[in-house]
Structure 1
Amino acid sequence: MKKLFFILLTGIMTASLAGCGKGKEAGSKPEYTPLIREDLMWNTEELFNRAVTVEKGETGDYANANGTTEAIFYDGPEYNGKPTKVFAYVGFPSAPMPEGGYPAVILVHGGGGCAFFEWVEYWNGKGYAAIAPDFYAQQYGSYKLQNGKAPKNPDGGPVDSGSFRNTAEDYKDSWVYHSVYNIISAHNILLSDERVNENKTGLTGISWGSVLTCIAAGVDYRFGAFAPVYGTGFLLETPGVSSRDYFEMPYDAAEWMRYYDPASYLTYCNRPIMFSIGTNDSFFSPVLQQQSADLCEGPVYHCFRAELRHYHRWKDEEGMIHVADFMDFVLSGKAAPFVVESEALDGRELTVTLSDGSSVKQIRVCYTLSTEGNSTQWKWSLFGVNPKEFDGNKLTVTLPENAEYCFVEFSDGAFDEYFQSTRLYSLEK
């Protein structure tokens, strides 16, 4: 891929901007042919080659123990006929640069969030260059400045999560259009830097940032991996959306879905993607996440988990180490403790094959008897399976007779350790 470039208006960005166990090794990258939707809102041919204009922001004490972080502003699309600027933190690790450059990741926060320099610090500690843009017209945010406490960006764009009031005609003023445009531009910024390995870039987002990640997964095929956390498609059916003050049922629901819902874009994703959500998520639905995952054409990995509360989480101790391990596995070919290689349901017998069953220390079968009402309020039950039940790398479990939905969760330790799951099964009586 030809290196992109960007213009720095107020100085040159300097170099200061600058553990898995045994398991399956990812193979070399296969020859890749992207799936392309021709009628996108975004002119990707133009955007992928756009020279992004970048201004250096104010110097701050970002307390990055793992590298160096700088604040920047970069140019976004016009909003209501006026130019916009996007605030972001960008950081590079202090660890020596590997041959070919650092892998890199774009970090997309959710509703109530802002650009988190702490998130950049986390990924710098994992050996990644990282950029965390703001998606709600804010600037100089931090983990302590959530829920509207971050300073406003006077040159920011729209802030209406989901763009439920937008139509096919006014898409260029929509939050979805601006946000994905700005993700593409952030990707350009990373790809323009000679310290970044252009073949090792990933995108991860949380909540509404996860929704944007799912849309971008079908638009920006230059990424090598995607990791949406919580949010996915079918937003008009999502329990936690319709109760929000920003929600308004679109006049033409079918048209709105085609333009603004992740379900219309995930079908064009044939890069590796890993979905994560907890059974106790108060906003998004595990059932709709599975339906969204089923749309993808490429390799899909699942991280359904019992009791993964919905908030801005990314740290290992918050149960999120699997996101970094996934990026390492897909982008750099590093060993993962294990991956689910195959699974098959025969009646109530579920057989799962892992890459390395000996790495598993905990197995939990999670199921619900519920099908009615708001899925965020369903009650889920658990029972454990002894890892000694593995026959080599294969495990067969009998699912409860009265279960309606079920998945099996595998872990190599405690809550802050690596985990992966099967898909979510809908069980016929």
Structure 2
Amino acid sequence: MSFSYRCLLPLFLLLVLPVASTALADPIQPSTNLPQTQPWDLTKLSEAPKFAWVDADSPVRSLTFTGEEFEGHPTSVFAYYATPGSILGDKNLDRNLPAIVCIHGGGGTAFREWTELWAKRGYAAIAMDLAGSRPIEGKNPHDQKNRTRLPDGGPFHGDQHKFGHIDDQVHQQWQYHAVANVILAHSLIRSFPEIDKKRTGVTGISWGGYLTCIVAGVDSRFHAAVPVYGCGYLTDNSKWLDRFAKMTPRQRQLWVTLWDPRQYLPAVSMPILFVNGTNDFAYPLDSYMKSYDAVPDDVHKQLSITVKMSHSHPGGWNPPQIGHFMDQWLKRGEPLPMVDLPQIKGDHVELRYDTATFAKAAIHWSVDDKAVNAHDWKTADAVVKEDIIIAPAPPEDARLWYMTVQAEDGSLVSTEIIFVKERLIR
């Protein structure tokens, strides 16, 4: 049996035998928009991997599954798994469940609390570590010191592994393994008898949002996606411009071809919600809007841009619009409000919206010449009428502006960001 115990025996005393799923493959159907340069064996990744329970009895369970080979050996991937029945102690609740795959960001790991959050919402959830490690039980998982390296773990996820290995074999690079492990986690959770395979979603935070943008284009079996912070067009503008500046032109182009989400966003076919803040230090609004625009217009896509949204794992999984969006598409819940592009009409702005109810609306703008993720933002309330929202027009010297509406549960959606190159025309 190919499953390796080397990562388990030194770490855990109580184990059950490894389990191999007998579920038939539910193959990924690649989009015609998926680039020929994509490096993954999608037929192989469509098969549920072998796995072993580390803890099969706790409210939030844990397991390892077999990943792709790295440095000549199969890898082990640690993950938490929770369901409504596991956290409430009632197995009868675990039938025909929607499922969520949770992708952590830089400095993150598998987060127990993230799976518990989704399980309390009525979902099965799996959160895997993408750095070849696992959190130490009983210690703060947000502190990187509280991790244990798996003996047969895959590549680490530091910046050097994301950018400094571009000349290595593709199958040895972090992005290859990270995307593969997300897809394998999806294949695994789909093989569990309590899961409704027609209702699965994916969400990721920061580098996990970046991976969500790639995975949403690669794995057509997902039915909804929510990338938070992360996006593509990183060579155009991002926190890592200095990393790209150190590459040769050939290396930069190879990195873009293989690993920039701009290559995969045109292949997205499921509903997708992009969540970010106006001043994100890593993924600025210009690259973010390019990423949003890269998704085909015939796909249901929405934006949620919050003024100066904090950047963290809890900050990335707490916004209510994430769960609201998943409920809409995976549980037939109340839809998020839909808004058109706002239109300047003399001294005011008009914004059309759908019939969904919401609590309030606002307009946001900036007039300074600072970097796109360093702007000072001003906000004014808008007036919600029966079929239109009215707001004061942004000042003539505004550099960029947009509008938001907020549902009664606090879920926030926004219009596209409007970048103003010339003086506003009234």
TM-score band, normalised by shorter chain: 0.7 to 0.9
1:35-184 equivalences under 5 Å are 35-37=32-34, 38-48=36-46, 50-58=47-55, 68-94=59-85, 101-140=96-135, 144-149=140-145, 150-161=147-158, 163-167=162-166, 170-184=169-183
8 Å CA contact retained: 2:54, 2:62? yes
- Name the SS of the counterpart of 2:148 in structure 1: coil
8 Å CA contact retained: 1:52, 1:75? yes
In structure 1, the residue matched to 2:8 is none
Report how many residues are paired. 388
Call closer, same or farther: CA 1:378–1:345 in 2, change over 3 Å.
same
- CA shift at 1:343, angstroms? 2.6
Call closer, same or farther: CA 1:233–1:256 in 2, change over 3 Å.
same
Mapped partners of 1:284, 1:110: distance in 2 = 13
8 Å CA contact retained: 1:165, 1:248? no
Mapped partners of 2:315, 2:116: distance in 1 = 11
In structure 1, the residue matched to 2:341 is 343
1:28-52 Cα offsets, whole Å, 9 max, x none, are xxxx99445233210112221x240
Mapped partners of 2:364, 2:339: distance in 1 = 20
In structure 2, the residue matched to 1:363 is 361
1:9-408 equivalences under 5 Å are 10-11=16-17, 34-37=31-34, 38-48=36-46, 50-58=47-55, 68-94=59-85, 101-140=96-135, 144-149=140-145, 150-161=147-158, 163-167=162-166, 170-242=169-241, 248-249=246-247, 251-252=249-250, 253-297=252-296, 298-313=299-314, 318=318, 320-336=319-335, 338-345=336-343, 350-356=349-355, 359-372=357-370, 374-387=371-384, 390=385, 392-397=386-391, 398-408=393-403
2:418 corresponds to which letter in structure 1? Y
- CA shift at 1:141, angstroms? 5.2
8 Å CA contact retained: 1:71, 1:140? no
CA RMSD of aligned residues (A): 3.0
- CA shift at 1:147, angstroms? 3.9
2:44 corresponds to which letter in structure 1? E
The more displaced of 247-256 and 155-164 is 247-256
- CA shift at 1:281, angstroms? 1.8
- Name the SS of the counterpart of 2:258 in structure 1: helix
- Name the SS of the counterpart of 1:72 in structure 2: strand
- CA shift at 1:56, angstroms? 1.5
1:130-158 Cα offsets, whole Å, 9 max, x none, are 00000112213578222422222222111
2:38 corresponds to which letter in structure 1? L
2:169 corresponds to which letter in structure 1? D
1:382-427 Cα offsets, whole Å, 9 max, x none, are 112233xx2x2322442332111111111135xx721111111112
TM-score of the superposed pair, with normalisation by structure 2: 0.83
- CA shift at 1:261, angstroms? 0.5
Unaligned 5+ segments in structure 1 are 1-5, 14-31, 62-67
8 Å CA contact retained: 1:263, 1:292? yes
Mapped partners of 2:387, 2:150: distance in 1 = 52
1:124 corresponds to which letter in structure 2? A
1:241 corresponds to which letter in structure 2? W
Call closer, same or farther: CA 1:370–1:145 in 2, change over 3 Å.
same
- CA shift at 1:125, angstroms? 0.6
**Is residue 424 of structure 1 aligned with residue 420 of structure 2?**
no
In structure 1, the residue matched to 2:23 is none
- CA shift at 1:160, angstroms? 3.7
Mapped partners of 1:11, 1:82: distance in 2 = 21
Call closer, same or farther: CA 1:363–1:296 in 2, change over 3 Å.
same
The more displaced of 35-44 and 218-227 is 35-44
TM-score of the superposed pair, with normalisation by structure 1: 0.82
8 Å CA contact retained: 1:218, 1:269? yes
Higher relative contact order (CA 8 A, sep 6+): 1
1:296-354 Cα offsets, whole Å, 9 max, x none, are 012110001112111112688x4x11101000101222113x41143354588654332
- Name the SS of the counterpart of 1:313 in structure 2: helix
- CA shift at 1:362, angstroms? 2.3
Mapped partners of 2:290, 2:51: distance in 1 = 39
Call closer, same or farther: CA 1:294–1:129 in 2, change over 3 Å.
same
- CA shift at 1:161, angstroms? 4.6
Unaligned 5+ segments in structure 2 are 6-14, 20-28
2:100 corresponds to which letter in structure 1? V
- CA shift at 1:249, angstroms? 3.2
- Name the SS of the counterpart of 1:228 in structure 2: strand
Mapped partners of 1:371, 1:287: distance in 2 = 14
Mapped partners of 1:274, 1:104: distance in 2 = 17
In structure 2, the residue matched to 1:19 is none
- CA shift at 1:88, angstroms? 0.4
User: Identity percentage over the alignment?
Assistant: 27
Call closer, same or farther: CA 1:204–1:54 in 2, change over 3 Å.
same
- Name the SS of the counterpart of 2:44 in structure 1: helix
1:10 corresponds to which letter in structure 2? V
Mapped partners of 2:55, 2:164: distance in 1 = 35
